[in-house]
Amino acid sequence: MHFRRSIRACLLAGWMLGATGAGARDHDDVRIAPRRPVHTYSIVARDPATGELGVAVQSHWFSVGSVVPWAEAGVGAVATQSFVDPSYGKLGLDLMRAGRGAPDALAGLLAADPGRDVRQVAMIDSQGRVVAHTGAKDIPAAGHHVGSNYSVQANLMLSDQVWPAMAKAFEQARGDLAERMLAALDAAQAVGGDIRGRQSSAIIVVSGKPSGKAWEDRIFDLRVEDSPEPLVELRRLVKLQRAYNHMNAGDLAVEHKDAEGGLREYAAAEALAPGSAEMIYWHAVALVNMKRIDESLPLFRRVFALDPAWRTLTPRLPRAGLLPDDKKLIDRIVKEQGVR
């Protein structure tokens, strides 16, 4: 448990800018797992326009998303890989939350780690300060490239073209942070990627303005645990998450009495996931609650055609306050014949 003792020494030396507050919490709970050879390629990045922070990764290792990517809104993002020590993620965020820049945080953690030569770690903080480390004993091809507001890193790759390809793709890509990071992962795979193949992938993107509610700050938090095409599946999940983000925004707009704004968000969600009965159904329910019954009925018909169980569900919603307690109205809805 050498690493844990070293971090405690850092705390005693004042690393955490005073041992009170969120930055110094829970260090006694850190547990160092045996080294796991999570050889992979990844990107940590910040969008300077929005302040969003993110990590994206792919590996020939099961459930890479459970150990490599770490991010916290208003704090930073970390990718810890090669013979991975997951505590770099937690402790790196703790140090950055306490006010340390990413380069300073990583330098301290590496100094405390006798296994630094087999680690590969990248960190970026909320100010865009970014740093990476590739250990001298990481399995080649291994290396990293640090650019403006991002770092790409890889080890056990087919060739040393992987991280330059990632950097170029990220810099040239358009779209939001998630889209640009996915472009970097695709570029890595296009030039050979992991010499062993592929198995899992993950992406985390957190908002630029922390709300104080971590669960609300995660724009994307997606993992593909085991797949022959993890990047293809990750892109599918990102698209679906975008749709649900629009649904959530629609619900919020309706809650704030912005009916037209809500309908625009629901329409955007359905455009991204046109076959989703879930999205169509709750759009229809929202229309009923706006007293736009005639507009809702064609949507109910589409949903009932996709799955009759939604018809069974509908009479149960008034008890939960999600539809008006009006038997005549509910009967009218459930009698709609499903038409695709």
What 3 state SS string does 222-289 have? EEECCCCCHHHHHHHHHHHHHHHHHHHHHHHHHHCCCHHHHHHHHHHHHHHCCCCHHHHHHHHHHHHH
Confidence category of residue 39, pLDDT binned at 50, 70, 90: confident
53-67 pLDDT per residue, tens: 999 999 999 999 999
Judgement on whether residues 196 and 249 belong to the same structural domain of the protein: no
CA 283 to CA 161: how far, in whole Å?
Answer: 47
Q: How far apart are CA 142 and CA 75, in angstroms?
A: 27
All residues at 6 or more sequence positions from 334 whose CB lies less than 8 Å from its CB, including other chains: 311, 314, 315
* Mean pLDDT within 118-127: 98
Q: Are 44 and 168 in the same domain?
A: yes
> Average pLDDT, whole number, for the chain?
89
Range of the domain at 8: 2-228
- 160 within domain boundaries: yes
Lowest mean pLDDT among 22-26, 130-134, 297-301: 22-26
User: Are residues 118 and 135 in contact, defined by beta-carbon separation less than 8 angstroms?
Assistant: yes
Q: Are residues 266 and 211 in the same domain?
A: no
Q: What pLDDT is attached to residue 246?
A: 96
The C-alpha angle 141, 147, 149, rounded to 5 degrees, equals: 125
Percent of the chain beyond pLDDT 70? 88
In a domain, 339, yes or no: no
pLDDT bucket at 338, cuts 50 / 70 / 90:
low
Domain membership flag for residue 260: yes
Dihedral over Cα of 264, 268, 271, 276: its sign = negative
Cα–Cα distance measured from residue 324 to residue 322, given in angstroms and rounded to the nearest whole number: 7
127 with 154, same domain: the answer is yes
What is the rounded distance in angstroms from the CA atom of residue 209 to the CA atom of residue 205?
Answer: 12
Say yes or no to pLDDT of 298 above 70: yes
CA distance 181 to 188: 11
Residues 88 and 115 in one domain: yes
Buried b (16+ CB within 10 A) or exposed e, 306-320: beeebbeebeebeee
75 and 17, same domain (yes or no): yes
DSSP line for 167-199? HHHHHH--SSHHHHHHHHHHHHHHTT-BTT---
Q: Are residues 299 and 221 in the same domain?
A: no
- Same domain for 165 and 311, yes or no, is no
- Residue count of the chain, please give it: 340
Average pLDDT over residues 117-132: 98
For 198-224, how does the pLDDT look when each residue is reduced to its tens digit (9 = 90+)? Answer: 999 999 999 999 999 999 999 999 999
Q: Do 256 and 217 share a structural domain?
A: no
The answer to whether residues 104 and 98 touch, using CB atoms and an 8 Å cutoff, is: no
Task: Mark whether 179 and 312 lie in a shared domain.
Answer: no
Task: Tell me, rounded to whole angstroms, the distance of Cα 190 from its chain centroid.
Answer: 22
Distance CA 148, CA 291 (A): 51
pLDDT for 36 equals: 64
**Same domain (yes/no): 42, 164:** yes
How far is 279 from 266, CA to CA, in rounded Å? Answer: 8
Tell whether 74 is covered by a domain: yes
Total domains, the chain: 2
Residue 314: inside a domain: yes
Q: What DSSP state is assigned to residue 325?
A: S
